[in-house]
Chains A and B, each alone.
Chain A
Amino acid sequence: MKEALDQWDFVLAAYAVGIFGTLAMIGWSWVEMRRAEMRRDKARGR
Chain B
Amino acid sequence: MHGFANPKRFLSIARWLTPLLLAAGMLLTGVALTWGFFFVPPDRLMGETVRILFLHVPTAWLGMGGWTAIAVASVVFLVWRHPLASLAARAAAVPGFVFTALCLITGSIWGRPTWGTWWVWDGRLTSMLVLLFLYAAYIALAQAAEREGVSPRIPAIFGLLGAINIPIINRSVVWWNLLHQPPSITMGKSAIDAEFLGPLLLSVAGFSLIFGAVVLMRMRALLAIIQAEARLRRRANEVAG
Contact = CB atoms under 8 A, between A and B. Distances in A.
A13 B109 contact: yes
Interface residues of A: mostly helix, strand, loop or mixed? helix
Contacts of A14: 51-52, 55-56, 105-106, 109-110
Interface string A12-46: 01110111011001100110110111011011100
Contact of B112 (A10, A21, A29, A35): A10
A13 to B, nearest CB: 5
Q: Point out which of A17, A30, A40, A44 has the most chain B C-beta atoms below 10 A from its C-beta.
A: A40
B170 interface: no
A7 to B, nearest CB: 4
A1 interface: no
Interface of A: 5, 7-8, 10-11, 13-15, 17-19, 21-22, 25-26, 29-30, 32-33, 35-37, 39-40, 42-44
10 closest A-B pairs by CB: A36-B224, A18-B55, A7-B48, A40-B228, A40-B224, A43-B231, A36-B221, A29-B217, A33-B221, A14-B52
28 contacts: A7-B113, A10-B109, A10-B112, A10-B113, A11-B37, A11-B49, A14-B52, A14-B106, A14-B110, A15-B51, A18-B55, A18-B59, A18-B102, A21-B105, A22-B102, A22-B207, A25-B95, A25-B98, A29-B94, A33-B221, A35-B221, A36-B225, A37-B220, A39-B224, A39-B225, A40-B224, A40-B227, A40-B228
